[in-house]
Amino acid sequence: MIISGRVQGVGLRYFARDIASEMNLTGSIKNLHDGRVEIEVQGDSDLLTMFVEKVRVGPQLSRVTSYTISDMSIVENESEFIVRY
């Protein structure tokens, strides 16, 4: 998932990490150099749908203007959702 808008410097990475952890989803999130945010997340499809909706709303200071979702291969033995730098 690639997210655009006011998504850096507003706590979105930690917001997404907390939601993913609560939902037992795994993956990672990182800021991109062009101001967008990249999320790789895996888990139950219903929970993934809920995760996407929550991230689209984001924390109070964020504003998601657009996002794209792409399917990727499953990462085996992944055990947590982490913030990458």
Question: Positive or negative CA dihedral for 29, 46, 53, 58?
Answer: negative
Residues of the chain with confidence (pLDDT) below 50: none
pLDDT value, residue 3:
98
What pLDDT sits at residue 69?
96
Annotation says 13 is catalytic:
yes
Most distant pair of Cα atoms in the chain: their distance: 34
> Contact 53/25 with Cβ under 8 angstroms?
no
Domain positions in the chain: 2-83
Whether 6 sits among the annotated catalytic residues: the reply is no
The reported pLDDT for the residue numbered 27 is 98
What order of strands is seen across the sheet that includes strand 37-42? Answer: 63-68, 2-6, 37-42, 26-31, 81-83
Fold of 2-83: Alpha-Beta Plaits (3.30.70)
Q: Residue 5 has what pLDDT?
A: 98
Task: Choose, from 31, 36, 56, 63, the residue flagged as catalytic.
Answer: 31
